[in-house]
Amino acid sequence: MTIDEKLAELGIELPQAAAPVASYQPVVIHGGFAHVSGQLPFVEGDLIKGRLGDDVALEDGAGAARACGLMILAQLKAALGSLDKVERVVKLGAFVNSTADFTDQPKVANGASDLMFEVFGEAGRHSRSAVGVPVLPLGVAVEVDAIVAVKP
């Protein structure tokens, strides 16, 4: 089964890959790895904004992380031509806009991590960082970046 077939089976439609909001490349492929710049949580063209522990619920934060994961997949597909070229998801970095007393960043990051496993199976299991930060670009709730091994 191709990854596109797997996405269809899961009922997942990828968003259009977002253009960079500053001076960087969305994906850089080098040495057999695709380095995906931090992706923001777009849902139906709108950004999920706010702060965990303040005005964004844990479930909504996990949904925002999943939206970031979908954008990672969209960026990879745009850069590689096919998600079938993904050999393995190596690492995700999740940045969670959160208050000083919010400590469930790993649960928020699971939104992106679980998506990678759903789509790629065992090849979607990865290492990860989940970090709380006081602010993110454009006021978003979550930003996620990735390192992905690419098939030769």
Residue 110 falls within a domain, yes or no? yes
Q: Can you give the pLDDT at residue 129?
A: 98
Tell whether 39 is covered by a domain. yes
Q: Which residues, 6 or more positions from 43, have their beta carbon under 8 angstroms from its beta carbon?
A: 63, 67
In a domain, 45, yes or no: yes
Q: Is the pLDDT of residue 33 over 90?
A: yes
The domain total for the chain is 1
Give domain status of residue 11, yes or no: yes
Domain span at residue 76?
Answer: 3-15+29-150
In a domain, 35, yes or no: yes
How do strand 46-47 and strand 33-39 relate by DSSP bridges? Answer: unpaired
Residue 21 predicted with pLDDT over 90: no
pLDDT digits (tens, 9 = 90+) for 56-100: 999 999 999 999 999 999 999 999 999 999 999 999 999 999 999
CATH number at residue 105: 3.30.1330.40
Residue-level pLDDT at 142: 98
| Statement: residue 53 has pLDDT above 90 | yes
- Is it the case that residue 52 has pLDDT exceeding 90? yes
Distance (Å, whole) CA 77 – CA 98? 30
Contacts of 93 (CB under 8 A, 6+ apart): 38, 128, 129, 131, 144, 145, 146
pTM for the model stands at 0.97
Give residue-wise pLDDT tens across range 111-129.
999 999 999 999 999 999 9
